[in-house]
Amino acid sequence: MEDLQQSIKRIFNVGWTNFKRNTYLSMGTTGVMVMVLFLFSGLMSLNYLASQIISGLEQQVDVSVYFKNDASEDEINKVKIDLESLGTVKNVEYVSKDSALAEFKEKHAGDASVQDSLEILARNPLQASLNITAKDSSEYASITSFLEANKFRSLVDKINFYENEQVIKRVLAISEGVRNWGFLLTMVLAVIAVLVTFNTIRLTIYNQKQEIEIMRLVGGSNWHIKAPYLVEGGMYGALAAGIVVVVFYPIVYFISPKIESLMPGVSLFNYFTSNFFQFVSLILFMGILLGVTSSFVAIRRFLKV
């Protein structure tokens, strides 16, 4: 047990010495990793903001079903109950003919011509309706199909899903685009980080060619020879993660109010502070993973023990 502890201590000491020895190289590698992790954090912010925009848009999107004038309130209520029993439906709001008219009047209170027209008409021209909100915007098509196939189809005059369909499709496209491009960008950045760290470790291995050769000759175990380079790679990632956390939070603190002025109720700073430990753990994990993976590839390629 003591041997293992000592061995681990030695590996970390050697890793740390390697890290310190090539100061400029280490700084360069850490710098590139900082950029990658910083961009990744930026991407996380963008994802969060996009999800807020999308959920805001999704809340504004719904499907309205307009009923024929001869449909009774009881019949409409039965349709409402049927809809509410669907797992995909979040909320169904009934708007009677009278409340639709009251709302219309209120909305056009300052428009004398509209008020006059309504008086001349002497009857309520508006239809009763159900406003349906789905749990997920992708469900509107299936809800519409359900309504079209429903036994109450004869009561329905029109479903305005097709008018909203374009908005819904656009929202879904944005959502998917942000996810896909974000993923792609993250992957590209990760590959760049791996390549840079890979080359740094390769240079370290090259600089220490003689030491490695001697370690091999005197019977140093594979683990003893290779592990310090894995530790060195991990250190680049860990240091980069630390720098990113220290720099990222003040930046978020300053830009958060500006974003909030554009998107009321969306606080980027609150999001990152309430998820502080998850964020730090994720960045640290990503940094160390990138560093260790790059080192692993480099030692497999260049360190023949």
Q: Tell me how far, at minimum, the Cβ of 209 lies from another protein, in Å.
A: 11
For position 299 contacting another protein by CB under 8 A, the verdict is: no
Q: Tell me how far, at minimum, the Cβ of 18 lies from another protein, in Å.
A: 13
Q: Applying CB under 8 A, which of residues 78, 80, 108, 224 lies at the interface with another protein?
A: 224
**Whole-number Å distance between alpha carbons of 63 and 153:** 15
Q: Applying CB under 8 A, which of residues 1, 3, 81, 264 lies at the interface with another protein?
A: 3
Asked if 292 and 233 touch (Cβ cutoff 8 Å), the reply is: yes
Asked if 128 and 94 touch (Cβ cutoff 8 Å), the reply is: yes
Nearest to 147 by CA among 82, 202, 208: 82
For position 221 contacting another protein by CB under 8 A, the verdict is: yes
Nearest to 139 by CA among 207, 58, 218, 193: 58
Q: Between 206 and 285, whose beta carbon lies closer to another protein?
A: 206
Q: Which helix (H) or strand (E) holds 288?
A: helix 276-302
Residues in contact with another protein, shown as a per-residue x/- string from 195 to 214 under the rule CB under 8 A: ---------------xx-xx
Q: Tell me how far, at minimum, the Cβ of 197 lies from another protein, in Å.
A: 24
For position 57 contacting another protein by CB under 8 A, the verdict is: no
Q: Tell me how far, at minimum, the Cβ of 301 lies from another protein, in Å.
A: 16
For position 216 contacting another protein by CB under 8 A, the verdict is: yes
Q: Tell me how far, at minimum, the Cβ of 7 lies from another protein, in Å.
A: 6
**Whole-number Å distance between alpha carbons of 95 and 108:** 18
For position 215 contacting another protein by CB under 8 A, the verdict is: yes
Q: Tell me how far, at minimum, the Cβ of 236 lies from another protein, in Å.
A: 23
What amino acid is encoded at 281 in this protein? S
Q: Which whole-number Å values give the CA distances from 213 to 4, 10, 132, 156, in the listed order?
A: 24, 18, 73, 84
φ, ψ of residue 127 in degrees (nearest 5) = -105, 155
Nearest to 226 by CA among 15, 27, 5, 30: 15
Q: Tell me how far, at minimum, the Cβ of 199 lies from another protein, in Å.
A: 24
Q: Between 202 and 226, whose beta carbon lies closer to another protein?
A: 226
- Residues touching another protein: how many (CB under 8 A)? 20
For position 12 contacting another protein by CB under 8 A, the verdict is: no
**Whole-number Å distance between alpha carbons of 251 and 258:** 12
**Whole-number Å distance between alpha carbons of 159 and 171:** 20
Instruction: Write out the residues near another protein by the rule CB under 8 A.
Output: 2-3, 6-7, 10, 210-211, 213-222, 224-225, 305
